[in-house]
Amino acid sequence: MIYLQNVRKSNICVWQKVYRFIMVKNCAKTCDACDEFARLPRRARCRDAFKSCSSWSRNGFCHQTYYTIDERKNFCRKSCKTC
């Protein structure tokens, strides 16, 4: 997974077209692609980035303040019910 703070520095939003779908799905705000994200099918928009998200959610991840709200949404969108 590409960490959000490194996305703009790497310019991956612009020049790596092969990764465009991944970037729109996981980093829409950072890549200035919120309109594209909104046009994705709901199933594509509402996914967790990690297999462990359901377990993390049960352990309180979705309400911890250690991670930012944006990180929680991007990491575990489905499990944290932020779709």
pLDDT in tens, 46-68: 788 889 999 999 999 999 889 88
Q: What is the dihedral of CA 48, 45, 25, 39, to 10 degrees?
A: 180
Task: Mark whether 12 and 35 lie in a shared domain.
Answer: yes
Are 41 and 54 contained in the same domain?
A: no
Q: How far is the CA of 80 from the CAs of 2, 13, 23, 37, in angstroms?
A: 20, 25, 20, 18
**pLDDT averaged over every residue in the chain:** 75
Question: What is the reported pTM?
Answer: 0.52
Same domain for 34 and 56?
Answer: no
Residues 1 and 33 in one domain: yes
Q: Are residues 41 and 27 part of one domain?
A: yes
Residues written for the chain: 83
Question: Higher-confidence residue: 21 or 73?
Answer: 73
Higher-pLDDT residue of 38 and 81 is 81
Residues 65 and 40 in one domain: no
For residues 55 and 81, membership in a common domain is answered with yes
54 contacts: CB under 8 Å, gap ≥ 6 = 48, 79
Amino acid 53: pLDDT:
93
Are residues 22 and 62 part of one domain?
no
For 48, phi then psi, to 5°, come to -85, 145
